[in-house]
Structure 1
């Protein structure tokens, strides 16, 4: 069955190699450089963007209450019930829309609400807030394999200044 597998990049899992050809404070700037190299027919498979000085940032969205847990559980359960109702309609001949979808949706919402409230109660008040997390880098280095680094630097010297895109600060 090896013909079904996609080839793996041998660089995955290994430390990035190469010379630093540019460094930026934003990922968009680093991406712009790689895009320019690609447009210039440079073999970009020799290039790597490395984010350094990583920070994990957790932004608090709001407080998690029993009502929030119940509503979120009900919504999740309703989707599951809708899925089961659709499966039932597809597999059982003569099943009607309202007779199979509506009960499945309501039962799913009910069980979802129950599990949401029970799950929230089991936390005992610990972590009773909702949040999102992301990992951010302070610096982005563009590396190129040693044998092509000079060619990449030469191409970057001809790179035009960015257009008036407020997301991308001008390169120094």
Structure 2
């Protein structure tokens, strides 16, 4: 068990896991057994950025993505303007969605074409840790260790 500070409180690492889900399972077990989980932290260490490539980005795919975004923006603007439109509120919303879709399509395609092939793929970025430590306030560490010793395997 190692002692660190979390939010200015002395804490003790009572367990560590190579993945997040087992750490979450351990905290859930503590909660199920009445442990004051507001005094628990899951601390990820050894952070690295992972960019998962999700597919090839073409002008058509960029236009489609822009169309979807434009339609959502158009819907929002249409709803806001539709409040003041009186009886023809549905026409205002439909017009805003169609205009948003058209503008989104054009801007999506043009923006991708202007990159000149610099980034012809789409991706999702995230952080991953090499280890996840369950830390509790130092005064409650013995109780947490005792409860975690009875941790059932994950379902």
TM-score range, shorter chain: 0.7 to 0.9
Q: CA deviation at 1:121?
A: 2.5
Q: CA deviation at 1:88?
A: 3.0
Q: CA–CA distance in 1 between the matches of 2:95 and 2:35? A: 59
Q: Which runs of 5+ in 1 are unaligned?
A: 1-10, 166-172
Equivalent in 62, 70, 84 of residue 91 of structure 1: 84
What residue in structure 2 maps to residue 117 of structure 1? 109
Q: Which runs of 5+ in 2 are unaligned?
A: 1-5
Q: CA–CA distance in 2 between the matches of 1:32 and 1:122? A: 47
TM-score (norm 1): 0.75
What residue in structure 1 maps to residue 142 of structure 2? 150
**Contact residue 88 and residue 95 of structure 1 kept, 8 A:** no
What residue in structure 2 maps to residue 50 of structure 1? 43
SS in 1 for 2:46: strand
What residue in structure 1 maps to residue 66 of structure 2? 73
C-alpha root-mean-square deviation of aligned residues, in Å?
A: 2.2
TM-score (norm 2): 0.82
- Please state if 1:161 is matched with 2:146: no
What residue in structure 2 maps to residue 6 of structure 1? none
Q: Which runs of structure 1 show a deviation greater than 6 angstroms over 4 or more consecutive aligned residues? A: none
Q: Return the structure number with greater strand share.
A: 2
What residue in structure 2 maps to residue 135 of structure 1? 127
